[in-house]
Structure 1
Amino acid sequence: TIGGGIGQSRLCMLLLEKAHVGEVQASIWDKQTEDCCAEAGVSLL
């Protein structure tokens, strides 16, 4: 379904061992968040 609530994304993060919700959920991220994640080696969708 569309959305799925925060629980679905958190469960995916846990199962896939991801550090940021942006690694399991597509969204629009501001430049500061993109830069911060890039420095930390986090790939956003």
Structure 2
Amino acid sequence: MQGSELRRERYDEAAEVPPQFLRNKKQEWEEYRSEVTAFELRKNLPVL
């Protein structure tokens, strides 16, 4: 996200994304990434 093509397309090249926004998005992604869904449990638990 920090240097993404989409950001360059959407915003002026010189525009900066506020650091707190990036920090919040990284934290949000980590929380999402660490969740185990019911589907994952059904699919993978019998294998373990």
TM-score by length of 1: 0.32
Structure number with larger C-alpha Rg: 2
Instruction: Considering fraction of residues, name the structure with more helix.
Output: 2
